[in-house]
Amino acid sequence: MHFDAVVIGAGFAGLYQLLCLRDRLGLKVQVIEAGGDLGGTWYWNRYPGARCDSESHAYRYFFSRELAAEWQASERYPGPAEIRAYLDHVARKFDLRRDIRFNTRVAAAHFDQAAGLWRIQTEAGGRCTAAFLITAVGCLSSANVPAIAGLADFRGKWYHTGQWPHEGVDFRGKRVGQIGTGSTGIQAAPVIAQSAAHLTVFQRTANYSVPARNAPLAPEFKRWAREHFEQIREIVQSTLNGHAFRIEQRNVADVTPAERQAIYEAAWEKGGLQFRATFKDLLTDRAANATAAEFLKARIRAVVKDPATAEALADIDHPYAAKRPPIDTDYFETFNRPNVTLVNLRQDPIECITAQGIRTKSSRHPLDIIVFATGFDALTGPLLKMDIRGRGGRSLREDWKGGPSTYLGLQVPGYPNLFTITGPGSPSVLTNMPVAIEQHVEWITECIGHLRKTGMATVEASDTAATAWGAQVDEAARATLLWDAKHSWYFGANVAGKPQVFMPYAGGLNKYRKICQGIAARGYEGFVLARA
């Protein structure tokens, strides 16, 4: 079967890409999705406490006013079921399901240079061809289960949060061990603790967290969000990170210590990622950042009653928000429960997993269930899981051995007509994802439309453009404190053997949007367009 375009993935990115290519350009499109239904990240991440960290009035599509008027989430932060219901609504409204093949995983995609098309093969052996191949595979979809010796011997059950069983897990009466205290672990622990007999949290790196203050949305807020759709869209499309709030233009040094304290307290009360937006220089100036860090550490010490536990939780080794900042519902309060224990792996590292549980250097922790909240092989992982080959059979796995090289995170030199939505080198994970996704999908659609209009068959990033873009990605990260947290997954540090390269573009989605627009306006500068 031949298609004009094959899109891999049916989350926010894949659905909108299908709609744009099929209904706006009139192409014949097939979406191939590994999961049994729509949702992408929200299909797989059903762990206890899972919830979006972006506020619901910003975590959605903005391309259609009509769609926005039809659907409103019920809470400040939507959970997986509500997000899936939203995507289902979108799919019904635009009749998208008929072009999606579920339960089908792409194993390989090879560019056939002679025929000028992509040959795609699924794990089940299915084959098709396409002029354009677009990956909409998500940035955080390749689960990272660390290779801890002895896991195969464990007699209990274990789960990774990103591959959570759809029927749920019953923790009642069980001794549960949770490894990982990133955004996911911080969401999961309070909920697991409510039903488990005992929860032991294994913490390698202590983390900041700000209360999410989730709540049902008041009817007045819903009305306001409906009536202010255009204004909200204007904000998400013009800010650094695609969220529906602006970053304050003051620096920490512009206010007195008392004013600063009041600002942090108000932001703490309000809750959510907006805490990061209280001052312009929080992510660029170490001294400024230290004031936020101290405020947040003081909160941990104030909440957690056991002094040793409080100290381990507040012993944070990186600037605030240099790693992705979590938001929570009663995370630190959870450590005041009698059925919850913290193990500080910095002092007492895991030695192995045994048949009975986890053995650390100084103790044994008998467990019935282990929850791996250990994150993902981010950004490159989902792409490199597939055997992608470009011109002359060159392989993406080989080409990216030393780290990803892309032009704008959208294309890879040597791989004509392959587009990577929110790929490495684009703002992606540093933003409110649906907004970054819309920008990419619309840019790709315009690019393909341009090729069709001008009779061109292929578009391919040049080596020079990709090298220059890589330098810009590096420079943008170095200008921020994100560069200080070398152990973050932004650098790939969480996966053994992964090259240490800062992967997302940290220059801001607003700036990135203008760069992409300029490049297109200058005749796709840095791309080579060719006839068949």
Contacting residues toward ligand N01, per CB under 6 A: 51-53, 140, 146, 179-185, 187, 202, 204-205, 324, 345, 350, 373-376, 429, 487, 489, 494
In the numeric block, the tokens 């949060």 are attached to 161
For ligand N01, which is the closer residue by CB, 182 or 508? 182
Give SS3 for 159. Answer: strand
Could you tell me if 502 and 477 are in contact, meaning their C-beta atoms sit under 8 angstroms apart?
Answer: yes
The three-state (H, E, C) secondary structure of 108-120, written as one string: EEEEECCCCEEEE
Minimum distance between the CB of residue 327 and ligand N01, rounded to whole angstroms? 8
For ligand N01, which is the closer residue by CB, 505 or 527? 505
Minimum distance between the CB of residue 471 and ligand N01, rounded to whole angstroms? 25
Q: Are strands 175-179 and 369-372 parallel, antiparallel or unpaired?
A: parallel
Minimum distance between the CB of residue 324 and ligand N01, rounded to whole angstroms? 3
For ligand N01, which is the closer residue by CB, 1 or 352? 352
Could you tell me if 39 and 10 are in contact, meaning their C-beta atoms sit under 8 angstroms apart?
Answer: yes
Minimum distance between the CB of residue 346 and ligand N01, rounded to whole angstroms? 9
For ligand N01, which is the closer residue by CB, 183 or 200? 183
Taking the C-alpha atoms of residue 4 and residue 508, their distance in angstroms, rounded to an integer, is: 32
Minimum distance between the CB of residue 28 and ligand N01, rounded to whole angstroms? 33
Taking the C-alpha atoms of residue 379 and residue 412, their distance in angstroms, rounded to an integer, is: 14
CA distances from 477 to 326, 485, 501, 516 (A): 20, 11, 10, 18
Minimum distance between the CB of residue 342 and ligand N01, rounded to whole angstroms? 12
For ligand N01, which is the closer residue by CB, 380 or 411? 380
Give SS3 for 438. Answer: helix
Helix orientation angle between 257-270 and 286-303, rounded to the nearest 10 degrees: 60
For ligand N01, which is the closer residue by CB, 52 or 370? 52
Minimum distance between the CB of residue 81 and ligand N01, rounded to whole angstroms? 14
Could you tell me if 404 and 491 are in contact, meaning their C-beta atoms sit under 8 angstroms apart?
Answer: no
Minimum distance between the CB of residue 414 and ligand N01, rounded to whole angstroms? 29
CA distances from 320 to 44, 179, 292, 356 (A): 28, 22, 7, 37
For ligand N01, which is the closer residue by CB, 260 or 324? 324
Minimum distance between the CB of residue 180 and ligand N01, rounded to whole angstroms? 3
Closest CA to 241 of 277, 289, 270: 277
Minimum distance between the CB of residue 493 and ligand N01, rounded to whole angstroms? 7
For ligand N01, which is the closer residue by CB, 357 or 414? 357
Taking the C-alpha atoms of residue 234 and residue 239, their distance in angstroms, rounded to an integer, is: 9
For ligand N01, which is the closer residue by CB, 35 or 272? 272
Q: Are strands 357-360 and 340-344 parallel, antiparallel or unpaired?
A: unpaired
Question: What are 31's strand-pairing partners?
Answer: 7, 100
Q: Are strands 364-366 and 357-360 parallel, antiparallel or unpaired?
A: antiparallel
CA dihedral 231, 234, 239, 243 (to 10 degrees): 60
For ligand N01, which is the closer residue by CB, 169 or 528? 169
Q: Which helix (H) or strand (E) holds 11?
A: none
